[in-house]
Amino acid sequence: MKRECETVGLDLFWLYLDQIGRHPLLTQNDEIRLAQAYQAGLHARRTLASVDPDDPARPQLQAAVAEGERSYGSRRDAEAPHRRLTTEEPFFAALGCARPDAAWVRFDSNDHYAGHSPYALYTSGDGGAYWRGVLSTLGAVLPVHLPAGPGSHPGPFSVIDPSRAVLLSPTPAAEATGAVLITQAGSRLQQLTDIPHTTLSTISPSSVSFASTTHGWVVGTRGAGHAVILATTDGGHSWHSQLPT
């Protein structure tokens, strides 16, 4: 059984929200610059996985990865008021259940920091007694570091079974939607091919559903605003439209 809800009151996420509130706001230009560095770092990390150890491009890729990681902790030099979130602040969450004692939840703070709209993904396989952090856009500044999400803003996710899920995450500054296949109950993340804005809009909401690790669908709009249904049969490495153009 799978279901989604708009709000979930789990205390474990307040620590995450509190960490967000400890950092000053950035300007719009700062947010764009850091978002681009973040996306470039993700791309460089994926490229490094297939680059030979002695490849001359390796140092440049490693530098891009490091710069992307540094973008998490960047701040304005100018003074800015610190904001602290409390339990009265709004946040949103989506919940997917795979069986009565197994669930995945994505929290969104509905706020902006360092070019991101912060979100985090958690999973539980024991009826909610323990929730494991899977990934986060601010994983580098949390007390327990989490792997980075595939994009800068929250997007839809699909629960395949108790140990596997697929998450989409758009990065408007890069005009692309990232995707990640999560397996082994959140301990293994496989970055999938980005979906360009011309194929799937990074602005409008979308929905994703995977029946297995290879077969899935995404519903949304194209960059021009036209409705689109995308399908994949190779685990998100390629997509084809199922609506006439």
For 89-143, write each residue's pLDDT tens digit.
Answer: 456 788 999 999 999 999 887 666 556 688 889 999 988 888 888 998 765 555 5
Q: For residue 157, give Cα distances in angstroms to 88, 160, 170.
A: 26, 10, 12
Q: What residue has token string 């496989």?
A: 190
Residue of higher predicted confidence among 86 and 241: 241
DSSP annotation of 243 reads: S
DSSP labels, 159-208: EEETTEEEEEEEEGGGTEEEEEEEEGGGTEEEEEEEEETTTS-SSS--EE
Q: Looking at the whole model, is its pTM more than 0.75? A: no
Please compute the mean of the pLDDT values over residues 85-91 and round it to a whole number. 45
DSSP annotation of 220 reads: E
For 7-52, write each residue's pLDDT tens digit.
Answer: 333 444 555 555 555 555 556 676 667 777 777 877 887 787 777 8
* φ and ψ of 39, to 5 deg: -65, -40
Q: Which helix (H) or strand (E) holds 74?
A: none
CA gap 124, 59 in Å, rounded: 38
Report which of 146, 232, 224, 226 is spatially closest to residue 182, judged by C-alpha positions.
146
Q: Which helix (H) or strand (E) holds 95?
A: strand 92-99
